[in-house]
Structure 1
Amino acid sequence: MEIRQQYLQRYLHDIAIDQLVADYQTKGYLVAKEEKIGNHKADLVARKGDEVIVVEVKTGRMTPKKREQIVALGDYVRSHDNYKFMVVVALPPKRKKIDVPNIDHLLFDYLVHRASMPDELNRLSSNTRITGVEEATIDELTVSEENSIMAKGSGVVEVELQHGSGNDKTTITDAFPLTFDVVLKYNEHQELFLANAKSIEIDTASFYE
């Protein structure tokens, strides 16, 4: 029996938190769910020594109220030197058809070092910084006669959004789904690199809702 997407989405938030709890516990953290932090409540708090990681899980479009709560929680967390704030995007499991080693890193490297900041992200803050690409999945792969590899797929781009400056500066982390259609090639050392991007589209609709 294959589980329908509508049921996966309903429980995705809780499943994601349970998975994060297990991951952090494996790394030696003490983990608490739904913990109160100041006047706020966090989905998950992981502690190890002096390090405190506060995590909010996003599973879909956020209401303006929820976004305000996350911004307020992020501001509170960043006021503590030993605290780190993370927003994690949880996606329903997707049947992986093709594996390309390091595709996450290849996309991240291209976005940061070889392309201008995508307009979709640039509009979100006065200073947007891409911090990672995760969960990249290849849906279609084609090899041309010139040994170029055309890859289409999807993933999640993680960003840091900064508003204001100086003492009024506010920074929040967020993540958004992306789709890509790129050309991969091998260099003289037989290492795969992203040679060209036909399209990289980032869905930031959840930021405005």
Structure 2
Amino acid sequence: MSTDYKDLQRRMDGAINAFKTDLASLRTGRASSNLLDAVTVQAYGSAMPINQVANVSVPEPRMISVSVWDKSMVSAVDRAIRESNLGFNPIVDGTTLRIPLPELNEQRRKELVKIAHTYAENARVAVRHVRRDGMDALKKAEKDGDISQDDQRVQSDRVQKLTDETITAIDGLLAGKETEIMQV
């Protein structure tokens, strides 16, 4: 009996991938269709990602275009974008919403960096939960007599090393995004 390191690695990689997705939704001065990935729309009785009710495109460097498929959903999509805390004010044009991206001012850049730090902390917490699960499994295996105390220590060190590497990767991604956001 030993800990499934591949599963722990997969779960920690999942936390990193979720963090990368969150970071992609933060604006850095250039328009990107990923900016609206975090927006959920109240549609048909449930919360849905915006890309399930509309087509998001970038026709110009400082403009995002959202083509809503169902005419009755335009106001819900507009409301969801306005309430998303991204600082966007869509211009409704029939079933299309045009979102001009204003220049980022210093205050807004600092807010975006704070949001990035929040996303990073959420990712770190997710990684720590995976570590806790791995450590609990090792303690149980030792208690049940499946592994020796020495094996448990060696494997615990391995789980901790995996955790440290993953958190270092998260910190590196955060530093890169912070530099990108603060670049004028």
- TM-score between both structures, scaled by the size of structure 1: 0.24
Of structures 1 and 2, the larger Rg is shown by: 2
Q: Which has the higher contact order (CA 8 A, sep 6+)?
A: 2
Higher helix share: 2
TM-score (ref. length: structure 2): 0.26
Higher strand share: 1
